[in-house]
Amino acid sequence: MKVKVLCRNPDDYVRETTRDIQRVPRNYDPTLHPFEVPREYTRALNATKLERVFAKPFVASLDGHRDGISCIAKHAKSLSTVLSGACDGEVKVWNLPRRECVRTIQAHEGFVRGICSRFCGTSFFTVGDDKTIKQWNMEPPGCGVQEEPINTILGKAVVTGIDHHQREATFATCGQTVDIYDEQRSSPIRSFSWGVDSFSCVRYNPVETELLASCASDRSVVLYDMRESTPLRKVVMKLRSNTLCWNPMEAYYFTCSNEDYNLYTYDMRHLKCPVTVHMDHVSAVLDVDYSPTGREFVSASFDKTIRIFPKDKGHSREVYHTKRMQHVICVRWSADNKYVLSGSDEMNIRLWKANASEKLGVLSSREKIAANYNKKLIEKFQHHPQVKRIARHRHLPRDVLKQKKQQREMKEAKRRKEQNVRKHSKPGSVPLVPEKEKHVVAVLE
């Protein structure tokens, strides 16, 4: 005889642990849950507000330098170690989680112009105003032993920047020429020059590792290939570029920070005009660094702010500033994509969150789900005026705000003038030049 019995799978209603929440069966019939859009809209609005309320990006300030910070470098293998060089020739090694200086070296006389870590993280290089390139061991010397560089190279001219190859034992410096050094030799294995100018920055391409780019003081950005005997190409812009950074995920894009308050992202294959012009700063941009994901970059400016730009957007998504932070000289994005470090004139290194409202520390799975949902909601309703307004609101110091307004006015006036000129001249004689094409003067082969 067959007996029919109701049978339920205990997996459906028994929770795994007592700390888990009770499982509640849910009916997803849409008629039972009406007003999806209004309800989600209010949730989105709340999420945006909370995001702004929780946006506390400042994490820590590392003080100890006795002069303005001139350069910062990340350790290649350790997230917690950061190196910084100051204008008095001092180099400090910091421990980030403990927020303290671990080691101090009087590396140079005069400025420390550049600092970079070797790809394996065992040593680092510094260059200074005293025309020397020094290699230091990452391990501090024993107690009572004086700090001595492993290697010192005396150059002919002042070296203003240094960068290490991603995987080989070579590094590049710039000064009056761009030189490629082998670590084992004291003279450059290759030396590039094009015209007679000094260079302010040289950077290796992290992906296509044989490529380099440098910023010269003749307002140009020059590309090199380590394997070739000559430079590749040169873009001359209206004003000088201070630094540049390659995208670590997209081999052919690099962004340079310019004196004309803008940043320019170039595709190295098409140098005629930049891919994107990033504008928002109100003073010269001094440094730029890409996030390791290659999606965003951070820029430091003379206007005492740091801004974070999405790589393909013309305007910044975030602006950081504090009352005491002066001109920001250098900025770096940490290798785990969570933090941003900035070094400024008033001798402090500041640690910021890359994502201002992100919760630090371990998230429970439900927290994670909620965070994801909130982010998605904000993204979904980002075009709605209220959401947009709240998400966009940032506090700015008065000076910056004023300058910004002023610049907007100036820009508008210029535009109006151009419009009037166009109106009163022969049609076609005053061409409409797009913003992107305005800034490149020439591409030299």
Q: What is the largest CA-CA distance in the chain?
A: 103
Closest approach of another protein to the CB of residue 347, in Å: 26
Choose between 186 and 386: whose C-beta lies nearer to another protein.
386
Choose between 75 and 350: whose C-beta lies nearer to another protein.
75
Choose between 111 and 381: whose C-beta lies nearer to another protein.
381
SS3 label, residue 227? coil
Choose between 7 and 35: whose C-beta lies nearer to another protein.
35
Closest approach of another protein to the CB of residue 173, in Å: 19
Closest approach of another protein to the CB of residue 123, in Å: 10
Which of 3, 82, 167 minimizes the C-alpha distance to 342? 82
Q: Are 130 and 156 in contact (CB under 8 A)?
A: no
Burial class (CB in 10 A: 0-12, 13-18, 19+), 139: exposed
Closest approach of another protein to the CB of residue 134, in Å: 18
Choose between 272 and 392: whose C-beta lies nearer to another protein.
392
Choose between 156 and 315: whose C-beta lies nearer to another protein.
315
Which of 254, 266, 167 minimizes the C-alpha distance to 210? 167
Closest approach of another protein to the CB of residue 65, in Å: 26
In degrees to the nearest 10, what's the CA dihedral of 115, 117, 123, 129?
Answer: -10
Choose between 67 and 218: whose C-beta lies nearer to another protein.
218
Closest approach of another protein to the CB of residue 144, in Å: 29
Which of 141, 136, 138, 137 minimizes the C-alpha distance to 126? 136
Cβ atoms within 10 A of the Cβ of 359, count?
12
Euclidean distance between CA atoms 19 and 10, whole angstroms = 17
Q: Are 257 and 263 in contact (CB under 8 A)?
A: yes
Cβ atoms within 10 A of the Cβ of 363, count?
13
Report phi then psi at 422, rounded to 5: -65, -40
Q: Are 307 and 299 in contact (CB under 8 A)?
A: yes
Closest approach of another protein to the CB of residue 264, in Å: 16
